[in-house]
Structure 1
Amino acid sequence: MESHALIPRWRDHLAHGRRRSAHTVRAYVATAERLIAFLQDHRGGAVDAAMLASVEAADLRAFLALRRGDGIGNASAARELSAVRGFLAFVAGEGGAPPRLKGPRVKKGIPRPVSPDEAVALAEDVAGQAREPWIGARDWAVLMLLYGAGLRIGEAMALTGAVLPLGETLSVTGKRGKTRIVPLLPQVRTAIDEYLALSPHMASKDQPLFRGRRGGPLSPALVRRAVQGARGRLGLSERTTPHALRHSFATHLLGRGADLRALQELLGHASLSSTQIYTAVDAAHLMDVYRNAHPRA
């Protein structure tokens, strides 16, 4: 079967056969298209099911090397490899298996904030493992909210339908009942809107915004377990937790010139001393850049 016919079947398999989220379907289909384009150049000639069945570990290493050249990090490379394996297994059917290739690992060391690349890969992986599309959309929305707005997981779980319709800002109640206003990125608003469009549960003003499978409040423990599984699949540090996404939000804002007082307000810290921890984290990151880039470092 020619590659132009395989892609629609792969998309249908993911969306209906595996009931993957819309985000995962888009990501996995894009990976399959990149692999086919690579093989057309790498192997020469048209790519069909027979050629895909003959793909070897060396071909996948070359593909990942090309993607590395595009600038993707370890987490995205691991995600790409997972998608490739799934596509090749789908094409091979029950009678075959994709070549075995060890995925990239993140070096262990001093804890560092989750990079934007890793945050998105983590959220995509968690969403992709969901049993139903609306649950995948929910998990994607939750993790994007933690990373994109700096919420604590408990704050996200405490949101109700009263925050709807979403605007450019969100009112959040944090520790000691303190309320703060945080900006909502368009991508975060879109993620929440897509979840609500798929959710079978009504988003009434007195009910939790994020619901479990049976309609009750979503448990933070479920989110933590999902993140734990994803970080293992992606080779991320054990320090990669839902709360680490909040830390990354703060560190990345500080690195782009955010004022400490403004950051204190966004995070809902009672004192500036709680916020100042991020200056040390950012300094550590700057030292990494210095050591890697300076000719005399």
Structure 2
Amino acid sequence: MIESFLDYLSLEKKYSVHTITAYKNDLISFRDFLSSEFNQESLVDVHYNQIRSWIVSLVDAKISNRTINRKVSSLKSFYKFLQKTEQIIINPLSKHKALKVSKKVQVPFTSKEINLVINSISEESNFIALRNKLIVEIFYSTGIRRTELINIKETEISLYNGTIKVLGKRNKERFVPLLESIVPTLKEYISLRKKISKNSDFLFITEKGNKIYETLVYRIINSYFSKVSSKVKKSPHILRHSFATHLLNEGADLNSVKELLGHSSLASTQVYTHNSLDAIKKVYNQAHPRSSKKNNL
């Protein structure tokens, strides 16, 4: 039953391997709980009070509300699948309300911090430094996700059109603009890259010619930005966050940013708007006839 659900997520929903693994682990966790606490193997005849007991056990284990909500969401999707395939009539989680979570404000890097990093890497001239500089520049100039960057192939970059073809979530393709300012770095990197590997299709590779991987990309970003920023989070996602926030601060419309980020709905993009409030307030205070700043001019 679980395997059928996972096949559905893979083949019909086009979820990534990482996401499917998370769903699988959540379902197995709940199944093991049913077995140990209720001596029950079936996932079909489940009542909400059993699910609630599982949630309580997760809370007692000091698991965060955010993680618990994700696990319960996996379970809810599973039972929706069972409804769809007519294996159950009522979803036991149909009336469940998610646990409250505190909204974490993601603080973007400043333009100054990003420029400091790019300039510091520019002082080095080896393959690794050039690759890392290009990684930072592409993250900040396109706003793509870490997995999207890792999977870029050299053939998906068009210098003629000034675009990069990106394979996003659920295998959705999109084209993102390539800034002219990073083309020299890109050309220089590709030239050095060919001396290291002629076999790999992927743009970003290690010194041994292998495709780069997620933890390496995280370490690269964290290492460089730790030298210039005191922010708590220093990750590829914060660079994506900075890209969106800086565009909005400079007047880009929300729909354009949504398309660039590869979001399926505006709701996902709107999480970045709170960071542009300072810029909006500044414009407001300078423009409104009743503003004290306006009157003092």
Shorter-chain TM-score: what band? 0.5 to 0.7
User: 2:102 matched to which residue of 1?
Assistant: none
Query: Does the aligned pair in 1 maintain the 2:258–2:265 contact within 8 Å?
Result: yes
Q: Percent identity?
A: 32
Q: Offset of 1:166 from its aligned partner? A: 2.5
| Structure 2 CA distance for partners of 1:235 and 1:171, relative to 1, 3 Å | closer
TM-score (norm 1): 0.55
2:131 aligned to 138, 145, 168, which one?
A: 138
Larger relative contact order (C-alpha < 8 A, sep ≥ 6)?
A: 1
Deviations 1:103-140 (A, max 9, x none): xxxxxxx7532122211222344565x7x701111110
Whole-angstrom CA distance in 2 between matches of 1:147 and 1:269: 17
Whole-angstrom CA distance in 2 between matches of 1:150 and 1:279: 15
What letter matches 2:261 in structure 1? L
Whole-angstrom CA distance in 2 between matches of 1:280 and 1:196: 38
Deviations 1:269-294 (A, max 9, x none): 01110011122121145458999xx7
Whole-angstrom CA distance in 2 between matches of 1:150 and 1:203: 28
Moved over 4 A (4+): 284-291
What letter matches 1:239 in structure 2? K
User: 1:227 matched to which residue of 2?
Assistant: 221
Q: Larger Cα Rg: Structure 1 or Structure 2?
A: 2
Q: What number of residue pairs does the alignment pair up?
A: 184
Whole-angstrom CA distance in 1 between matches of 2:216 and 2:119: 16
Equivalent position SS for 1:193: helix
**Corresponding position: 1:268 with 2:235:** no
Query: Does the aligned pair in 2 maintain the 1:161–1:209 contact within 8 Å?
Result: yes
Query: Does the aligned pair in 2 maintain the 1:138–1:195 contact within 8 Å?
Result: yes
Whole-angstrom CA distance in 2 between matches of 1:142 and 1:159: 11
Query: Does the aligned pair in 2 maintain the 1:196–1:203 contact within 8 Å?
Result: no
What are structure 1's unaligned runs of at least 5 residues? Answer: 1-109
Q: Offset of 1:190 from its aligned partner? A: 2.1
Equivalent position SS for 2:144: coil
Alignment of 1:274-289 (within 5 A): 274-284=268-278, 286=280
What letter matches 1:137 in structure 2? L
User: 1:151 matched to which residue of 2?
Assistant: 144
Query: Does the aligned pair in 1 maintain the 2:113–2:229 contact within 8 Å?
Result: no
Deviations 1:212-245 (A, max 9, x none): 1100001221221122222332243122322111
User: 1:98 matched to which residue of 2?
Assistant: none
| Structure 2 CA distance for partners of 1:220 and 1:187, relative to 1, 3 Å | farther
Equivalent position SS for 2:190: helix
